[in-house]
Structure 1
Amino acid sequence: MNDKGHPASFTGTARTQGGACSPDEYLTLDATAMAALVQRGELEPQDLLDAAIARCDDVNPRINAVNMRCEARAQQTLAARREAGTSRDGAFAGVPTLAKDMHTAVAGTITTNGSRSQRDAAPATYDATLIARYEAAGMVVFGKTTTPEFGLSTTTESALWGKTCNPWDLAMSAGGSSGGAAAAVAAGIVPVAHATDGGGSIRIPASYCGVFGMKPTRYRTPHGPDVFEGWFGASCAHVVSRSVRDSALALDVSHGHEKGSPYWLAAPERPFADEVRRAPSRLRVGLVADSLTGMPLDDDIAAALDATVRLLTRLGHDVEPVTLAIESQQLFSAHGAASGTALVAAVRDRETALGRALQTDELEPVAWRIVRNAQQYSAETLYRARRTFERIGLQMEEKFDRFDVLLSPVTATLTPPLGRLSLEQEYEEYIKHIVGSVSYTALANVSGQPSMSVPLGVSRSGLPIGMMFTAALCGEGLLFQLAGQLEAAQPWAPLAPSL
């Protein structure tokens, strides 16, 4: 550990003089450390961007995490900051990053949502509020990351962009739908990358790729400016990162009300970055071992869960088994109604823009099936789905009268091989395979609570296993306290070792 309580593997070594950032040095730095070097004048933002581009050139052909590059935009951003004298300003001064290619506008780029139906979409003329806030804090967006079609799978594979490989094992999935983001961070292309989570899409890829991933409380981060919520608020945006402190700092610079939105949360008691350095008090931890889908827990994941309980006990926390008693059929039906009708709307919007109906080969088979199913929903179906969100949210909040956090696995099954969760298969096969990956995560999307994946386990085959912690609404500060403690007690690998 260094003198600030952070794993030394994320913070690089002291620089005695300026100069370019070497490839090896770039890989030792998390975003917080990069920004500190820029702020002190020991590194130039251009050095970091050059190093990120070089790393992307080196490893992306093997993992397919970045599907679009906007380097000219990034260079213009740096030039404008130099001219304005603000190159060293911001909490993330000069830090290179990537935006997820999913419902997120980056001016001058298209958003394909991983779909052939969107590949000729018009470039955005504005930045999403979240992207604008990242760049106002000093980040430099130079590309976008791969996604499955409309975020419909927990793997990142699409007919448009191909398969995104797990940097720990190129034959395995990187997770989804933020698999491109998680793979890019695990491979060292960037230390922190934008991601979204509508049913586990931050936490599942974080678990599979061995990085840290926090889904914030519903409405903590902005979703606009064109649409102010996704899937009744189930879909939230944040980042995946190598270090806990980067995630906390990213939430500090991005949270808060955006103009025009009817949704926002009260400001936290103190900056999230400060919480990482605060030891949590003795926590009451509820252990949730049973999955919502009835999927049995893989032996390696069960072993990682047991080891996490021992670690928590050693750190002074109390762990007690708990049963959630959530009506899983209602939960998944409500979530499916929200996400399915959103897909129908996206398809109709695209057809309006094209002036024609989409052709069979413009959506993948599973997506077409979801569209057909969702077209049958009534207004009552959607109304009752929204009520289910509220009821389950209350049920979960009542659990936090007794517990400070809930612990569970992120998934019931281990990282799958590429192809198993593809949207280019029969719908029934897709459903059969996907239940192992969404057995735990979707609950927090429906209920709204913050939830994080912490890389605390490794399978016998050497693949990362994440453990999930969920807190009460607006409980991100407590989660960051716990995550910082776990990171210090059991540091994880800063990069996937296979690249």
Structure 2
Amino acid sequence: MAEQPDAGRRGFIKVAVAGAASLGLQAAPAGARPLPEYERWDATALAAKIRNGEVTPLEALDAAIARTEAHAALNAIALRHFEAAREAARGLSALSRGERARRAESAPLLGVPFALKDLGVAMAGTVTTNGSAFFKDAVADHDSTLVQRYRAAGLNVFAKTTSPEFGQTATTESRLFGLTRNPWNTVLSSGGSSGGAAVAVASGMVPVAHASDGGGSIRIPASHCGLFGLKPSRGRVPAGPKALEGWLGLSINHAISRSVRDSALLLQLTQGAEPGSRSAPPVQPLLAAIERPPRRLRIALLEENVFGLPVHPDCLAAARAAAKLCESLGHSVEPAPARLLSRELIGEMFTGMGVVTATGMLSTVRAREKAIGRAAREDEFEPINWRSLNLARGYSAEQVLAARSAFDQVGRTFDLFFGTYDLLLSPVTAAPAPRLGAMSLDQPFDDYVKSAMMASPFTAMFNMSGHPAMSVPLHWNAAGMPIGAQFAAPFGDEARLLSLAAQLEQAAPWQQRHPAL
């Protein structure tokens, strides 16, 4: 039987969060949990220990589940698939050390606990709710191509992480699951829409977690939670088999991780076209890229908010600190050209983004209506999404085509830009992590827009252009909150980003910076 959201568990989480906030309660000491050093290992290291027989897959899973339950008040987990994962872990643990090592040759992450985002991916026999009450009992009858590749890599999926409804905002809050709290400061947002994934990694539940990015949804949570987050180029990671692109190519899957090498390894194992793909970039040797420093790079620094609004000093400080570190490593950093994108194009592309994301959501809802034989009701959706669904019903084919044309022009603009510069550096967001509630989908639209415009002016343009971009955790502000810096690269050149990220990670290590839970 598929595991589903549980109202009683949500009630417990709300009580636990309130108690922890008001009484200063803490989870049990890490030393009292299975594998006390678990939080210090990235997925690559954990896989090596499993392969060498130092840790069994069942011990690794028990460690992940123990951390998941210890930090339940953070509300990072939407769905628990513990028993199925235990069955898989028991089977692997029963193998001889030699047989596990043999299997690991083709499955490098054999036995490593892993969490999927509860949005847009299917795992046969389990629910994916998309953060929506309308999908709370939607059981998948197949595995997504990406899930097939995760299984082939040896990952043991034991949970799904929280997401806002349909991933439509840059925070992780929903009527269905409640508030997902930032482990660095629990009154603040963890970012979105992959906030549950970021919290799961930042709090030590898993070393790396699946995430997706349609406007900044990998990079924003990575920035808010002090982690590494790479959004790949359009088409590099499969989205099928049912839909080969998310939101006309705006959305792309990958992961949030603590280490750069985990991100490189996971992308190495999952990249490449699937049947039906027509626009995937060439497969790259990504692990090789992190083993050597990049050549001297010419980097442009962009500080201007495309909406013409101010950028918070802490976010500028993060980008400037990254620029200074790059210069110390021998790279050249200079101001980005003025008016990189014209005002006219900015208006067209963000208008188009609204058309495409709402239309994509409507298509998903209509497929569910057809499957269950009834129409969706207003009370099954959050107010801002219900508004978007009603607008989408009136959009024309001409508007959708105009949106895609605007995205193509953004892509062309950045292709020309990267003919001169190797990378573009900028803040990730225009403001630090906001308080929970500021970007909720359950509020008046005009109030929502004020905060939303500060979340993704720097990230969303690379979803529209299709270029790869990453958030690197190099800065913490005076309040002790992490704030990332974004780097974007030419289309298809994730290797360049990962090479620089590995160099930055070595120069300013962040892996052992953990929130004080």
Report how far residue 416 of structure 1 moved: 0.4
- Relative to structure 1, the CA distance from residue 359 to residue 495 in structure 2 (aligned partners, 3 Å threshold; closer, same or farther) is farther
C-alpha distance in 2 between matches for 1:96 and 1:242: 14
- Distance, in Å, in 1 between the alignment partners of 2:64 and 2:513 is 14
For the 8 Å contact 2:57–2:93, the answer to whether it is kept is no
Q: Quick one: which of 473, 494, 498 aligns to 1:480?
A: 498
1:43 to 55, 70, 84: 55
Determine if contact 2:117/2:160 at 8 Å carries over to the other structure: yes
**Residue of structure 2 in register with 1:307 after alignment:** 321
Letter in 2 for 1:275: A
Identity percentage over the alignment? 46
Name the residue aligned to 1:280.
294
- What is the Cα deviation at residue 495 of structure 1? 5.0
Q: Does structure 2 conserve the Cα–Cα contact (< 8 Å) formed by 1:449 and 1:473?
A: yes
- Counterpart residue identity of residue 154, structure 2: G
Structure-2 separation of matches of 1:52 and 1:45: 11
Alignment of 1:229-268 (within 5 A): 229-268=245-284
Q: Which residue of 2 aligns with 1:430?
A: 448
Q: Distance in 1 between matches of 2:507 and 2:276?
A: 43
Conserved? CA contact 2:131–2:163, under 8 Å? yes
Deviation, structure 1 residue 106: 1.3
Distance 1:469 1:138, change over 3 A: same
Q: Partners of 1:76 and 1:220 in 2: how far apart? A: 32
Conserved 8 A contact 1:65-1:181? yes
**Aligned match for 2:460, one of 418, 442, 445:** 442
| Segment drifting more, 162-171 vs 314-323 | 314-323
Which region of structure 1 is more displaced relative to structure 2, 473-482 or 251-260? 251-260
Alpha-carbon offset, residue 80 of structure 1: 4.6
Q: Look up the SS of the partner of 1:467 in the other structure.
A: strand
CA distance in 1, matches of 2:484, 2:128: 29
Report the alpha carbon displacement of residue 431 of structure 1 after superposing the two structures with TM: 1.1
Q: Which sections of structure 1, spanning at least 5 residues, go unmatched?
A: 1-19
What is aligned with 1:358? Answer: 376
Structure 1 29/83 Cα, relative in aligned 2: closer, same or farther at 3 Å? Answer: closer
Whole-angstrom CA distance in 1 between matches of 2:220 and 2:76: 16
**How far apart are the structure 1 equivalents of 2:357 and 2:236?**
20
C-alpha contact 2:109 2:154 (8 A) present in aligned 1: yes
2:189 to 173, 176, 184: 173
Which of 124, 140, 164 aligns to 1:148? It is 164
Please give the secondary structure, in 2, of the residue aligned with 1:62: helix
Separation of aligned partners in 2, 1:21 and 1:140: 20
Alignment pair present for 1:157 and 2:194 = no
User: Aligned AA for 1:29?
Assistant: W
How many angstroms apart in 1 are the aligned matches of 2:384 and 2:516?
32
1:81 offset after TM fit, Å? 4.1
Corresponding residue SS for 1:296? coil
Once residues 425 and 113 of structure 1 are traced to their aligned partners in structure 2, the CA distance between those partners, rounded to angstroms, is 19
- Equivalent residue for 2:16? none
Q: Secondary structure at the match of 2:37?
A: helix
Cα offset for 1:263?
3.6
Aligned to 2:4: none
Aligned counterpart, 1:65: 76
Please say which of residues 104-113 and 153-162 is displaced more in the overlay: 104-113
Superposition deviation, residue 200 in structure 1: 0.3
Paired residue total:
476
Q: Supply the distance in 2 between the matched residues of 1:116 and 1:246 (Cα, whole angstroms).
A: 33
Give, in angstroms, the shift of residue 399 of structure 1: 0.5
Q: Distance in 2 between matches of 1:190 and 1:209?
A: 14
Alignment RMSD: 1.6
Asked if structure 2 preserves the Cα contact closer than 8 Å seen for 1:220 and 1:256, the reply is yes
Specify the code of the residue in structure 2 equivalent to 1:304: A
For 1:261 and 1:307, the matched residues in 2 are separated by: 39
Q: How does 1:395-410 map to 2 (within 5 A)?
A: 395-410=413-428
- Residue 79 of structure 1 and its aligned partner are, at CA, apart by 4.2
String of CA shifts for 1:72-123, please: whole Å, max 9, x gaps: 22123234546777544121122111000001001221110000111122x2
Q: Which amino acid aligns with 2:433?
A: T
Aligned equivalents of 2:81, 2:417: Cα separation in 1? 45
* TM-score, structure 1 normalization: 0.93
Counterpart in the other structure of 2:13: none
CA distance in 2, matches of 1:423, 1:382: 24
Residue 99 of structure 1 aligns with an amino acid whose one-letter code is L
Deviations 1:414-433, CA, capped at 9 Å, x for gaps: 10011110000011111111
The alpha-carbon distance between structure 1 residues 387 and 48, as it changes in their structure 2 partners (threshold 3 A), is same
* Deviations 1:4-26, CA, capped at 9 Å, x for gaps: xxxxxxxxxxxxxxxx9944210
Alignment of 1:48-197 (within 5 A): 48-59=60-71, 61-81=72-92, 87-88=100-101, 89=104, 90-121=107-138, 123-197=139-213
1:8-52 deviations in Å (ceiling 9; x for gaps): xxxxxxxxxxxx994421011000100111112221111111110
Listed as ranges, the gaps of 5+ residues in structure 2 are 1-31
1:355 & 1:337 partners in 2: Cα distance?
26
Which of 348, 354, 361 in structure 2 is aligned with 1:336? 354
1:345 to 363, 366, 372: 363
What letter corresponds to residue 50 of structure 2 in structure 1? V
The structure-2 alpha-carbon separation of the partners of 1:495 and 1:144, relative to structure 1 and needing over 3 Å to count, comes to farther
Residue 221 of structure 1 pairs with residue 237 of structure 2: yes
**Structure 1 residues 361 and 87, CA gap change in structure 2 (3 angstroms):** farther
The one-letter code sitting in structure 2 at the alignment partner of 1:395 is T
The answer to whether the 8 A contact 1:23-1:55 is kept is: no
- Residues 165 and 150 from structure 1, CA distance in 2 versus in 1: closer, same or farther, beyond 3 angstroms? same
CA distance in 1, matches of 2:457, 2:408: 20
Query: Distance in 2 between the 1:380 and 1:226 partners?
Result: 24
Q: Is the 8 A contact 2:34 2:62 kept in 1?
A: no
Contact 1:98 1:141 in 2 (8 A): yes
In the alignment, which residue of structure 2 is the partner of 1:28?
40
One-letter amino acid of the counterpart of residue 408, structure 1:
S
Query: Which digits, 9 at most, give the CA deviation of each residue in 1:257-295, with x for residues without a partner?
Result: 112333422222xx2112112101110001111011222
Q: 1:134 to 1:80 in 2, by over 3 A?
A: same
Is the contact between residue 35 and residue 59 of structure 2 (CA under 8 Å) also seen in structure 1?
no
| Corresponding residue SS for 1:231 | coil
- Opposite residue 69 of structure 2, the aligned amino acid is D
Tell me, yes or no, if the aligned pair for 1:116 and 1:160 is still in contact at 8 Å. Answer: yes
> How far does the alpha carbon of each residue in 1:219-264 deviate from its partner, in whole angstroms, 9 at most, with x for none?
0000011111011111000000000000000000000111233342
Q: Residues of 2 paired with 1:138 and 1:351: CA distance?
A: 35
Deviations 1:345-385 (A, max 9, x none): 12222222332222221000000111122222111111111
Contact 1:167 1:496 in 2 (8 A): no
Residue 100 of structure 1 contacts residue 147 of structure 1 at CA under 8 Å; is this kept in 2? yes
Asked if 2 retains the 8 angstrom alpha-carbon contact of 1:218 and 1:448, the reply is yes
2:214–2:250 contact (8 Å) kept in structure 1: yes
**2:475 corresponds to which letter in structure 1?**
G
